[in-house]
Chain A
Amino acid sequence: MGVAKLLVTSEGAELVRRCRKGDGAAWEEIVQTYSRRIYNLAYRFTSRADSAEDLTQEVFIRVYRSLDQYNPKQGDLQNWLMRLARNLIIDDYRKRQRAPQDEAADDLEEHKYHLRASGATVQREMERRELGVQVQAGIDKLSADLRTCVILRDIEELSYQEIVDLLKIPEGTVKSRINRGRIELAKILRRMRVVEA
């Protein structure tokens, strides 16, 4: 474990320790640090801003109630928190797949994208925003199993083993779904003229 990782781990542990002692500011820092990442993860799966907001809130309530279970010796706070968030979001996604609702992703245009490239031109920002909308639309067209694996692998950038542990399915199945999901997504994006030779 490197020095930087140790520092991260100790900072996370200190934050959690302060939270357990009832320090509201420490909890606010955790919320501010991770809310955007969790909200985005929730949005990948739900494709709806309101659902993603509700899900993010639910995740943080569960995290807050589980703070006693956090053990710094088993990894840093970010890993623990994101693992918990992924489990909850995927569970929620599976439940919604079993009970499908009318959730057309029709509110994509209502959202503003946070662009890291501050010097980018307006046109480039527009293009990137459009790309994001189209990629999300393409992902939405995948089946639930393929969508989950593609998001975890190509957006969340988890390793095969991490996905195996998270979804509790064999590694061969994970690889197969990632492969099939990538091919399906590529064909969809090609039809949408998002990717072209």
Chain B
Amino acid sequence: MLCHEFEDQLTDYLDGTLGVEAHKNFAEHAMRCPLCHDLLGEVKSTLVACSASEAPPAGVGLEARILMKTMPETAITCAEFEDYLTDYLDGFLVAPLYHRWERHAALCESCSELPGDVVRSIGACYTYKQDELAVPAGLEARILQSTIGNVLPQQVRAPFMSRLVEWLRGALDPIVSPQLATVATMLLVAVFVLTNTVSTDGSVGGIYHASLQLAQRTADNATRSSVVPDGMKNLEGSVDDLMGADNASDTSDEANKNQNQANQNNASPNPQSKRKNNDAQPKGR
């Protein structure tokens, strides 16, 4: 095989399309001829290099330009772009608008630098905030002089009335503060429950009835004792009167009535107190 024939069959050899005999002759020539051997090696290396190389990356605006050409209705103006800038930075843009905004940022030369500038500007503000100005000398003294009238605050003492008002404010705060209202209500209810002075039927009359029963029990206890003071005897009489009138419409506690009658016999009558209590009864009910 001659060298020019080798070159003619080079591509067919690399493509693997040579016949068996031609392939054998081609390989033998490559082994015998140094020039053709080198040529074959260079072509192979070139092919490898070509297959490994890639096209340079597309410009950042390529996709945006394609979309702009094909779907111009999705574009936004520069004014809209600026209007949405803070929303974009805050992450509040909805997806379709977000993509249109980014497309404009990539496409528009006058707008492409703006987002970065705004971010750096905000950063400059934060840096500026960190570098606080020191308070000018004498300013705090002037403030103290204009408020408490003295640059030596330790010497300042408020008038007696001011101190008294503040003391009262602190002392009364737990009382006037509404936070204790719930607790106070619960305590009141607890006292009523524990002393059995809660109305059974929810009426005001029921409260008086329960109170009278409580008083009656107290009077009974006092009656059982050997020595009963005159004041207690008067109380017994008044309670009996009240219970007698009250039980006229409520005969459920017949045993108590009998006991009241017995008590009346023991107690010294006191018309005056009776009258007073009889007068008071309608008011109470």
Contact = CB atoms under 8 A, between A and B. Distances in A.
Interface of A: 17, 20-28, 31-32, 35-37, 39-40, 43, 49, 53, 56-57, 60-61, 64, 111-116, 128-129, 131-132, 134-136, 138-139, 150, 154-155, 157, 175-176, 178-180, 182-183, 185-187, 189-190, 194-197
Contact of A35 (B82, B128, B140, B163): B140
Contacts of A35: 135, 139-140, 143
Given A21-B166, A25-B154, A197-B116, A175 B86 contact: yes
B201 interface: no
A25 B153 contact: yes
Given A179-B86, A186-B114, A57 B133 contact: no
B77 interface: no
A196 to B, nearest CB: 8
B143 A185 contact: no
Interface in B223-244: none
B129 interface: yes
Given A49-B136, A57-B139, A182 B118 contact: yes
Contacts of A180: 82
A40 B141 CA distance: 17
4 closest Cβ pairs, A-B complex:
A22-B158, A24-B153, A24-B156, A195-B120
B38 interface: no
Interface residues of B, number: 49
Given A20-B166, A26-B153, A49-B136, 6 more contacts: A111-B133, A112-B134, A182-B85, A189-B121, A194-B121, A195-B121
Contacts of A150: 125
Nearest to A59: B143
A186 B114 CA distance: 8
B148 interface: yes
A155 B128 contact: yes
Contacts of A135: 124-125, 127-128
Contacts of A178: 86
Interface string B133-168: 111100110111011101011111111001100110
A39 B139 contact: yes
A27 B143 CA distance: 10
Contacts of A23: 153, 156, 158
